Amino acid sequence: APRWRGLGVGKALLAYAEREASARGAVCMSLMTAVTNHRARDVFHAAGYLTLGSAAAVYRRSIAGVMMLKPLGEPPSTKTAH
């Protein structure tokens, strides 16, 4: 709803979902939003989500979707023990 825009509600909910997912063992979060939803895409990019690609006509009026992904927590170490 327009009256809630800009108050950080979406950002707070996203951060909460990420913390919960991480606490339950998830290593990444993925989502899809409409290619035309620039405000949401800006929030997701600012939160560290990367654009993976798009899917044609997944929303009403044949609007494409944008798939996004964010790794959670520390990435696994690539160092080997000596």
Residue-wise pLDDT for 26-53, tens only, equals 999 999 999 999 999 999 999 999 999 8
For position 79, what pLDDT does the model report?
A: 59
Strands 63-71 vs 28-34: parallel, antiparallel or unpaired: antiparallel
Diameter of the chain measured on Cα atoms: 58
Q: Which helix (H) or strand (E) holds 32?
A: strand 28-34
The model's confidence at residue 1, banded by pLDDT at 50, 70 and 90, is: low
For position 24, what pLDDT does the model report?
A: 94
